[in-house]
């Protein structure tokens, strides 16, 4: 049953191609019958023989009939055209038998119609029809046998013999079976090949669609990718569209989500964000959204303004989605947005993305869901940072940094009790570069360890001169970066170098900030204990600026506590701030820590500090950082 159904499907698909084939067949046959009709007129020009007007009229009529069906195209049903073709062939063959007997074209016509059956009809009907047509010579033979039909003597004795007609009938039967078998086999193979080619074409089209999807769409969010996005906006630009805004959206915390819930859940979040953005832009034909891969999305917005976009960003909230609720994720889903106007601030998509990325770096420094528009100063800052980064690498290699020292003064005895070593750097193109600018660049560029070693070694090399200038009791403080502090074998490097330079470790104080406690506190405790056991003091710097957790002070034994400038600025005018300062000093005293007040600039601050146990002061009121030896 399955085979029959398949054959039937083959036939239906093949019949679809029969129409054009039959039209070509009709025009060719029309031409042949026209030639045959003209051949009957030859005696008119040669004066030999008689004109067969009957066959002339028949051939010409059939030629015109086929031509008419060809011109009418599909207005004549396929079945009618086939029937006309077969009927005309039967008529010609019967007429030929009666007029010319076995000497005419009747047998050829019957062979033609048998082949036509097998070409244009299904297998079984074509075989039955062919066998039925083969009975025409048999019927003529029977008619001759019973003398119902008698041929003229000039047509020959063969026409008077029923056996000759029976033989022609049997010959046609054999011809029908053989030709039918051959044509059906060829047609079956042809149909299978056609079906195979069509199925292959369908598969290729499907594959091409899949390839196009992979080539033009993000596989995770199903949003257009960068290539398709570029094509879409190029089409808009070619239409003369101007005054357009681009937005870059960066999703924060996807790595945390992947760590907490798995990569699959993180991918689901990104996919849902893609759905939200598609839904958000579906009713906005002037907006195109695309994925740049990972956790970044880009939007093209027409016919808008900066104020309208800023209002939309404020109202837009990913956390409203049921799947993205803070309760399910463990925290609110945060995102940053940067924007740029096109073509005023960028002339190509690559330039747009580059400048959006620059603005995104600024957006990351702001509060949640803050939109930052690109400004040319941002690009200048990036260019400056890149130039400084390149020069910093050379500066570290060639030891170009200088050391400035700021004095620490005891306000009771008015004596200098210590110095803080501070790195200074100048560039010919920009002049003096503030540590607040070059230290972050060094940190981001993974140069902080070689930089820290460089500064430490330089300070150690100047300690003999410092002792000579300030006496043997002077203490030298060095700021140690958290990254350098946690560097493998940090203690070994410090102690070995001090021994190599014959410098007493007791002269040094390492100042560390609360940043270092991001890692395991047990590790920090071991490092601090090792340093202190070798004579190096450790100071907790910028106390009050960060978390100021008492947990650190409970676990780790420090020698000093440096109170941040932000705590000291208003102690002369704010009773609340002064009470906080007193509390910190009492806490330090109870733990056996020295307290140092940094950033002191006014006399009234000194007067209030004298009321506390904090007597060591560092600030501009006594001295600025000075380069002593270079």
pLDDT in tens, 118-130: 777 777 887 888 8
- H or E segment at 555? helix 550-555
Q: pLDDT class for 308, splitting at 50, 70, 90?
A: confident
The CB density around residue 153, as the number of other CB atoms within 10 Å, is: 9
Asked, for residue 20, whether it belongs to a domain, the answer is yes
Say if residue 324 is in the same domain as residue 442. Answer: no
Does 514 or 571 have the greater pLDDT score?
571
At which of 159, 180, 198 does a domain end? 198
Residue 289, domain extent: 226-374
527-570, pLDDT tens digit by residue? Answer: 999 999 999 999 988 887 655 556 677 778 899 999 888 888 88
Total number of domains in the chain: 3
Q: What is the CA radius of gyration of the chain?
A: 50
3-15, pLDDT tens digit by residue? Answer: 555 555 545 555 5
Say if residue 175 is in the same domain as residue 297. Answer: no
Say if residue 7 is in the same domain as residue 147. Answer: yes
- Tell me which range, 146-160, 183-197, 480-494, is most confidently predicted by mean pLDDT: 480-494
Say if residue 541 is in the same domain as residue 487. Answer: yes
Asked, for residue 129, whether it belongs to a domain, the answer is yes
Say if residue 252 is in the same domain as residue 295. Answer: yes
- Average pLDDT of the chain is 83
Kindly report the backbone phi and psi dihedral angles of residue 426, in degrees, each rounded to the nearest multiple of 5, phi listed first. -125, 145
Domain CATH for 309: 3.30.70.270
- Tell me which range, 81-90, 197-206, 492-501, is most confidently predicted by mean pLDDT: 492-501
- What is the DSSP track for 93-144? HHHHHHHHGGGSSHHHHHHHHHHHHHHHS-HHHHHHHHHHHTHHHHHHHHHH
For residue 289, what are the β-bridge partners?
299
**Quick check: 160 pLDDT over 90?**
no
Say if residue 370 is in the same domain as residue 423. Answer: no
CA atoms within 13 A on the CB side of 395: 25
Say if residue 459 is in the same domain as residue 408. Answer: yes
Say if residue 348 is in the same domain as residue 452. Answer: no
Asked, for residue 364, whether it belongs to a domain, the answer is yes
Q: 418, 408 in Cβ contact below 8 A? A: yes
At which of 330, 350, 374 does a domain end? 374
415-467, pLDDT tens digit by residue? Answer: 999 999 999 999 888 889 999 999 989 988 889 999 999 999 999 999 999 99
Say if residue 472 is in the same domain as residue 611. Answer: yes
**Quick check: 158 pLDDT over 80?**
no
Say if residue 330 is in the same domain as residue 447. Answer: no
**Quick check: 503 pLDDT over 90?**
yes
Position 322 scores a pLDDT of 61
Asked, for residue 209, whether it belongs to a domain, the answer is no
- Tell me which range, 97-111, 211-225, 247-261, 596-610, is most confidently predicted by mean pLDDT: 596-610
At which of 349, 374, 399 does a domain end? 374
- Residue 555 CA from chain centroid, whole number: 49
Asked, for residue 204, whether it belongs to a domain, the answer is no
Asked, for residue 141, whether it belongs to a domain, the answer is yes
% of the chain surpassing 90 pLDDT: 23
194-206, pLDDT tens digit by residue? Answer: 788 888 888 878 7
Q: pLDDT class for 33, splitting at 50, 70, 90?
A: confident
% of the chain surpassing 70 pLDDT: 90
Q: pLDDT class for 508, splitting at 50, 70, 90?
A: very high
- Sorted by sequence, the CB contacts under 8 Å of residue 573 that are 6+ apart come out as none
Say if residue 519 is in the same domain as residue 431. Answer: yes
Q: pLDDT class for 82, splitting at 50, 70, 90?
A: confident
Position 222 scores a pLDDT of 83
Q: In this structure, which long-range contacts are made by residues 92-95, counting pairs with CB atoms below 8 Å and at least 24 apart in sequence?
A: 92/58, 92/62, 93/136, 94/136, 95/54, 95/55, 95/58
Asked, for residue 383, whether it belongs to a domain, the answer is no
Say if residue 547 is in the same domain as residue 441. Answer: yes
**Quick check: 318 pLDDT over 70?**
no
339-349, pLDDT tens digit by residue? Answer: 999 888 888 88
Asked, for residue 185, whether it belongs to a domain, the answer is yes
Position 464 scores a pLDDT of 94
Domain CATH for 523: 3.20.20.450
């Amino acid at each position: 049953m399955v085979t029959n159904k398949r054959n039937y499907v083959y036939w239906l698909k093949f019949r679809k191609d029969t129409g054009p084939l039959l039209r070509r067949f009709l025009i060719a046959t029309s031409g042949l019958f026209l030639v045959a009709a003209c051949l009957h007129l030859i005696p008119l020009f040669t004066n030999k023989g008689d004109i067969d007007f009957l066959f002339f009229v028949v051939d010409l009529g059939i030629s015109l009939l086929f031509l008419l069906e060809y011109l009418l195209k599909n207005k004549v049903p396929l079945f009618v055209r086939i029937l006309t073709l077969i009927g005309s062939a039967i008529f010609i063959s019967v007429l030929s038998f009666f007029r010319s007997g076995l000497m005419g074209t009747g047998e050829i016509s019957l062979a033609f119609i048998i082949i036509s059956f097998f070409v244009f009809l299904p297998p079984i009907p074509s075989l039955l029809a062919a066998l039925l047509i083969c009975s025409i010579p048999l019927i003529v033979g029977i008619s001759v046998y019973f003398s119902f039909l008698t041929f003229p003597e000039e047509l020959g004795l063969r026409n008077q013999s029923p056996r000759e007609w029976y033989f022609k009938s049997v010959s046609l039967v054999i011809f029908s079976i053989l030709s039918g078998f051959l044509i059906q086999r060829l047609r079956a193979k042809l149909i299978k090949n056609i079906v195979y080619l069509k199925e292959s074409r369908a598969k290729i089209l499907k594959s091409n669609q899949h390839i196009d999807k992979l080539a033009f769409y993000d596989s995770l969010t199903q949003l257009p990718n960068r290539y398709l996005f570029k094509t879409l906006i190029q089409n808009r630009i070619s239409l003369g569209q101007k005054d357009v805004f681009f937005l870059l959206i960066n999703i924060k915390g996807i790595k945390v989500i992947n760590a907490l819930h798995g990569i699959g859940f993180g991918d689901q979040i990104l996919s849902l964000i893609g759905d939200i953005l598609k839904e958000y832009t579906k009713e906005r034909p002037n907006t195109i959204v695309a994925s740049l891969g990972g956790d970044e999305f880009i939007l093209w917005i027409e016919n808008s303004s900066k104020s309208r976009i800023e209002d939309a960003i404020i109202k837009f909230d990913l956390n409203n989605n049921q799947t993205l609720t803070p309760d399910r994720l463990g925290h609110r889903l945060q995102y940053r947005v940067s924007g740029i106007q096109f073509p005023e601030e960028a002339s190509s998509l690559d330039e747009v993305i580059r400048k959006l990325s620059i603005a995104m770096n600024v957006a990351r420094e702001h509060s949640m869901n803050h939109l930052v528009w690109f400004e040319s100063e941002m690009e200048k800052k990036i260019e400056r940072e890149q130039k400084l980064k390149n020069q910093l690498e050379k500066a570290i290699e060639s030891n170009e940094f200088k050391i400035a020292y700021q004095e620490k003064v005891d306000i009771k005895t008015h004596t200098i009790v210590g110095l803080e070593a501070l790195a200074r750097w100048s560039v010919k193109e920009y002049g003096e570069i503030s540590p607040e600018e070059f230290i972050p660049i060094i940190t981001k560029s993974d140069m902080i360890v070689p930089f820290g070693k460089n500064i430490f070694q330089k300070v150690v090399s100047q300690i003999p001169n410092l002792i000579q200038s300030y006496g043997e009791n002077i203490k030298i403080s060095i700021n140690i970066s958290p990254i350098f502090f946690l560097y493998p074998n940090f203690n070994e490097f410090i102690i070995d170098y001090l021994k190599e330079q014959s410098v007493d470790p007791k002269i040094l104080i390492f100042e560390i900030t609360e940043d270092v406690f991001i890692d395991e506190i047990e590790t920090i405790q071991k490092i601090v204990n090792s340093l202190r056991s070798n004579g190096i003091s450790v100071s907790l710097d910028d106390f009050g600026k960060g978390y100021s957790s008492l947990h650190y002070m409970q676990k780790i034994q420090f020698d000093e506590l440096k109170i941040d400038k932000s705590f000291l600025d208003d102690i002369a005018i704010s009773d609340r701030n002064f009470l906080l300062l007193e509390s910190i000093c009492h806490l330090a005293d109870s733990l056996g820590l020295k307290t140092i007040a940094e950033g002191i600039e006014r006399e009234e601050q000194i007067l209030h500090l004298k009321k506390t146990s904090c007597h060591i002061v560092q600030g501009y009121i006594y001295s600025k950082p000075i380069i002593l030896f270079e």
